[in-house]
Chain A
Amino acid sequence: MEPKKPFELVVREHGPTVLRVCRAVLGDHDAEDGWSETFLSALKAYPELPAGANVQAWLVTIAHRKSIDIVRSRNRRPVPVDELPVRPSGLGIPGDGRREVLDAVGQLPPKQRQAVAYHYLAGLPYKDVSELLGVTPEAARRAGADGVKALRAALADTSSPASKGTSR
């Protein structure tokens, strides 16, 4: 039996990343369910995970499947447009940009959102992203690039008038 570290360390090390991925893919509202189901499922399967496996990639794969389940079980689009908060006006809300970024991610088409989450937030190579999404690596790369481009544009829109003071 190969040594395997306590699952608690897996949660501590990867919990924040998995939450980021879940928020990007599922939106704030369902992210907690996605996170919980991902780690519960991972805990169950942990003893069988081969030694030396890439734990973060494994978790992202589980998170991807659980996200699909959650979306399916609620029989709706990943982030329903009618539940999105009103976009920031750009006049006030001197927030830290969090809300704005999350909203912007929520506006992306699902494939772009997933590509951005898995590649940029979880650090998965596009080859792995393409396998998860069932598309060619080229298509995965394009989805990621388009997604980031759209985010960049959306953020430039929302942040410029409010960005007096560059703190955070």
Chain B
Amino acid sequence: MNIEQMDNEALLPDGFLPGLGEPAPGKLERLHARLAAAAADRQLIDVSYRTVDSPLGRLLLAATERGLVRVAFALEDHDAVLQALADKLGPRILEAPSRLDGAARQLDEYFAGARRSFDIPLDFALSRGFRLSVLEHLPHIAYGSTESYAQVAKAAGSPKAVRAVGSACARNPLPVVVPCHRVVRSDGSFGGYLGGPEAKRTLLALEAA
């Protein structure tokens, strides 16, 4: 088989493969956009995504039909995040920037200091149980203020579950938009953050300005 194929390759006229192999510049990009649009129309996409640049580095934004489902820092490895989304939500994942224009624009405004809360549909499909209760409470912490892990535990209905609040924040699938950065230690120190401590500091400084 191999030998036969090599024989055949030897018969290929010079320039044959390149001749058919190089689409006009931009053609594959156009075809991709057309595919994403047609797939969205027919509701064939499990998850659409795009990336945006931000003061925290490149962010991955991913959405289902129901809403924004994941925001990921570069630290988290976007390829790994997409694979995890494929495993949990379905493998029909396409880069479709226009589907996330709204979220991207609101994030831009937020980072520019021109927006204090997000008004986009969210899909909490990746969270359940107590973690979900914690995430649902977080948007009630006002822009520019903070709560302790203990305060959040109380607000989420389990005053003793302080550590669980910590892990809910650490696994927040929607950082920045669902403001887990506003949860800090009782002693006022920052506590950990998915995007690294520097990212948390940047966000709190932005909101304090």
Interface residues of A (CB under 8 A from B): 1, 3-8, 11, 15-16, 19-20, 23-24, 32, 35-36, 39-40, 43-44, 46-47, 96-98, 100-102, 105, 119-121, 125, 144-145, 148-149, 151-152, 155-156, 159, 168
Per a CB cutoff under 8 Å, which of A5, A98, A101 touches B91? A5
Query: Are the C-beta atoms of B90 and A47 separated by less than 8 Å?
Result: yes
Query: Are the C-beta atoms of A97 and B15 separated by less than 8 Å?
Result: yes
Q: Mark B81-97, 1 if CB is under 8 A from A, else 0.
A: 01101110011111100
Query: Are the C-beta atoms of A120 and B91 separated by less than 8 Å?
Result: no
Query: Are the C-beta atoms of B92 and A47 separated by less than 8 Å?
Result: yes
Question: Given A1-B87, A145-B11, 19 other A-B contacts at CB below 8 A?
Answer: A4-B91, A5-B86, A6-B47, A7-B92, A7-B94, A15-B32, A16-B28, A20-B23, A40-B38, A40-B39, A44-B44, A46-B91, A47-B90, A97-B19, A101-B20, A119-B8, A148-B13, A155-B13, A155-B16
Query: Are the C-beta atoms of A101 and B31 separated by less than 8 Å?
Result: no
Q: Is B1 an interface residue (CB 8 A)?
A: yes
Q: Please, how many residues of chain B have a CB less than 8 angstroms from a CB on the other chain?
A: 40
Per a CB cutoff under 8 Å, which of B18, B19, B92 touches A43? B92
Complex CA gap A98/B1 in Å reads: 29
Complex CA gap A22/B94 in Å reads: 22
Chain A interface mostly: helix
Query: Are the C-beta atoms of B19 and A101 separated by less than 8 Å?
Result: yes
Complex CA gap A120/B20 in Å reads: 11
Contacts known (A7-B92, A97-B18, A155-B13); A125 close to B1, Cβ less than 8 A: yes
Contacts known (A11-B35, A145-B11); A121 close to B44, Cβ less than 8 A: no
Complex CA gap A24/B86 in Å reads: 33
Query: Are the C-beta atoms of B35 and A36 separated by less than 8 Å?
Result: yes
Per a CB cutoff under 8 Å, which of B20, B27, B35 touches A102? B20
Q: Is B12 an interface residue (CB 8 A)?
A: yes
For residue A24, which residues in chain B have a CB less than 8 angstroms away from its CB? 20
Query: Are the C-beta atoms of B13 and A3 separated by less than 8 Å?
Result: no
Query: Are the C-beta atoms of B34 and A36 separated by less than 8 Å?
Result: yes
How far does the Cβ of A49 sit from chain B's closest Cβ, in whole Å? 9
How far does the Cβ of A81 sit from chain B's closest Cβ, in whole Å? 19
How far does the Cβ of B30 sit from chain A's closest Cβ, in whole Å? 8
